[in-house]
Amino acid sequence: MRVLLTIAYDGTAYAGWQRQENALAVQQVVEEALASLIGCAVTLTAASRTDAGVHALGQRAAFNVEGLRIPLNKLPRVLNGLLPADISVSHAQAVPQDFNPRFAARFKTYRYQIWNASVPNPMYNRYSAFINQPLDILAMQKAARHFIGRHDFAAFCATGGSAKTTVREIYTCTISQAENLITLEITGNAFLYNMVRIIAGTLTYAGLGKINPCIIPDIIAARDRTQAGKTMPPQGLTLVEVQFKE
Amino acid sequence: MRVLLTIAYDGTAYAGWQRQENALAVQQVVEEALASLIGCAVTLTAASRTDAGVHALGQRAAFNVEGLRIPLNKLPRVLNGLLPADISVSHAQAVPQDFNPRFAARFKTYRYQIWNASVPNPMYNRYSAFINQPLDILAMQKAARHFIGRHDFAAFCATGGSAKTTVREIYTCTISQAENLITLEITGNAFLYNMVRIIAGTLTYAGLGKINPCIIPDIIAARDRTQAGKTMPPQGLTLVEVQFKE
């Protein structure tokens, strides 16, 4: 049987999703909890390899298991009893044997939060970037609209990505504000390495008046990383949701 | 000169506001930052002695200083450069020499958050209590209204409090819901030891159907701690605001 999990985590303490040699990753912690429950080694394949410090509300990851004795609807609560407080499984479902969450993803939604005030807020430190200069929300909203559509996002891709093409389609890209908290929410068919954090940095430049919102199409067209904004820090980023093809 | 600070903190790592022998308190960290800035020992007097694990967005604390060389409007950002990320000073103002934030407080607002879902949310763990049984919001809202007014809150006071009288006045007491997050917001002239956490526990009993909302007046009238709900855990509680007499 192949099982697909929905996983939420506070990424603060982890070196990202993907298992690695010298640092603790979310994947390793969940795999070890599964292994101790099932009695044999388990390998998870995730929809998104979130970076160190990035959070998730709706990460999806699949694994194979034979003869699972726990009913699937009870699996999340049993697993949560074995997981630390900063990782939680909310759902488990059976999927076809060839299901790969990464390739089956139809779109993903990310959120990027900015705490915009003269001083930081300790209750948002873990989940937002702090910017102490006033941001022009209208300029950010104007700039955000230009990202919607099918574009070559080479200017919004960190080196080290392994994508064959840098063309991606963005369906929604919105900026909202609730008191001092500014939130970017972006949905696309897929994202390049650091793409959301570079878009957030470029929108921040628009908000600070460093660039005019109407030059975003030129920045995209130039396909030059140096023309886009800086990469924003990881703790503001959350993988909110992954939707699959029918 | 006497200076009044507005202080926010994530209380997770601290043994509460008040300085103590064998554990790190928020008061000690802020006093040490002030002392290293000013060059001599400083004692802070706070509006509220929040418990271990309780958070604050608008704690207020005052101290005396002679010959402060930093302008008051620059003090918060300078202090924040010395403070850890989980404590932040947002405002500093001069107050009369006899100003005591505890006795000058006209009302205080607290917030209590509950994450109500079948599984916990790692991004709310630090700032909410987790309840996995469904809560009836309407019953909680009905129950909440009965706390408004001037009452003897002896049933809602943990042993160990030092108050001369257990009569307090509650101005507002509301329950709201945003998806799985349930928020109690309560404003009163003052609060007994653990009072908000016991009220939150009693409202939770109403939400679980363990008590009928209309018996809240009887529980108050009985002045018997054992008739009220359990004390909810500290991490759901935040001191939001302290308002002073004119």
Q: CA–CA distance from B100 to each of A11, B44, B87, B158, B189 (Å)?
A: 41, 10, 22, 25, 15
Tokens representing B1 are 């000169």
Contacts of A10 in chain B (CB under 8 A): 122-123, 125
Partner residue opposite A8 with nearest CB, options B57, B90, B122: B122
User: Does A74 reach chain B within 8 Å, measured CB to CB?
Assistant: no
Give the residue from B10, B54, B78, B119 with the most A CB atoms within 10 Å of its CB, the best one to mutate: B119
Mean pLDDT over the full length of chain A = 95
**Pair of tokens at residue B76:** 């918060």
**Taking 90 as the threshold, does the pLDDT of residue A67 lie above it?**
no
Q: B118 and A85: CB-CB below 8 Å?
A: no
Interchain CB distance below 8 Å, B122 and A85: yes
Q: For residue A93, give how far its alpha carbon lies from the nearest alpha carbon of chain B (Å).
A: 15
For B123, which of A8, A76, A118 is closest by C-beta distance?
A8
Active-site residues of A: which are they? 51
CA B128 to chain centre: 13
In the predicted structure, residue B161 carries a pLDDT above the cut 70: no
Indicate if ipTM > 0.85. Answer: no
pLDDT reported for residue A164: 85
pLDDT tens digits for range B44-56: 999 999 999 999 9
- Binned at pLDDT 50, 70 and 90, residue B245 comes out as confident
CB B184 within 8 A of CB B173: yes
Nearest-10 Cα torsion for B41, B241, B141, B148: 90
pLDDT digits (tens, 9 = 90+) for A157-196: 988 767 789 999 999 999 999 999 999 999 999 999 999 9
Residue B41, CA distances (Å) to A82, A159, B66, B73 in order: 46, 50, 11, 21
Helix or strand (DSSP H, E) at A106: strand A105-116
What are the pLDDT digits (tens) for B191-241?
999 999 999 999 999 999 999 999 999 999 999 999 999 999 999 999 999
Chain B neighbors of A118, CB-CB under 8 A: 76-77, 90
Q: Calculate how close chain B gets to A42, using CA atoms only, in Å.
A: 22
The residue type at B16: G
CA A192 to chain centre: 11
Would you tell me how many other CB atoms lie within 10 Å of the CB of residue A223? 15
Q: Is 90 exceeded by the pLDDT of residue A245?
A: no
Tens of pLDDT, residue by residue over A82-130, are 999 999 999 999 999 999 999 999 999 999 999 999 999 999 999 999 9
Burial (0-12, 13-18, 19+ Cβ within 10 Å), A203? buried
Which residue in A163, A190, A161 sits closest to A47, CA to CA? A190
Query: Is A119 within 8 Å of B89 when comparing Cβ atoms?
Result: yes
Q: A123 vs B238: CB contact, 8 Å cut-off?
A: yes
User: Which residue among A76, A87, A122 sits closest to B86, beta carbon to beta carbon?
Assistant: A122
**Is B55's Cβ below 8 Å from some Cβ in A?**
yes
B-interface mutation test, from A88, A183, A238, A240, most B Cβ less than 10 A away: A88
